[in-house]
Amino acid sequence: MIYKSTVLKAFKDKDTGRHYGIGGFFSSEDSERVAYLGDLGFVDKEVKEIEPVVETKQKETADKPPFKHVGGGWYELADGSRVKGKQKALEAIESR
């Protein structure tokens, strides 16, 4: 669970070293830390609980060509063979 509160006074978090400005948001997984900063007047005592968002990483293979540029105009194909020129690399892949 992530706890989020509005910043009332500018401060630098001693745990992360991050600066927080007035009107911004302070968030932490430690509810006691947020409550402590609320007691000191740095953040609003009204704390919102937020479920953490889990981002799924999309496969990058759909955008990547099935060959790798190895320099000097040479391309290495998925099977390990090398050809000179991007067009020849594309033709070699299409012919398979």
Q: What is the DSSP letter of 65?
A: -
Structure tokens at 32: 């006691």
85 pLDDT tier (thresholds 50, 70, 90): very high
Per-residue pLDDT band at 32 (split at 50, 70, 90):
very high
CA distance 6 to 4: 7
Strand partners, 75: 69, 83
pTM greater than 0.85: no
pLDDT score for 60: 54
- Report DSSP letters for 34-63, one per residue: HHHHHHHTSB-S--EEEPPPPPPPPPSTTT
Helix (H) or strand (E) holding 6: strand 2-6
**pLDDT level of residue 26 (50, 70, 90 thresholds):** very high
Average the pLDDT over 9-27 and give the result.
Answer: 93
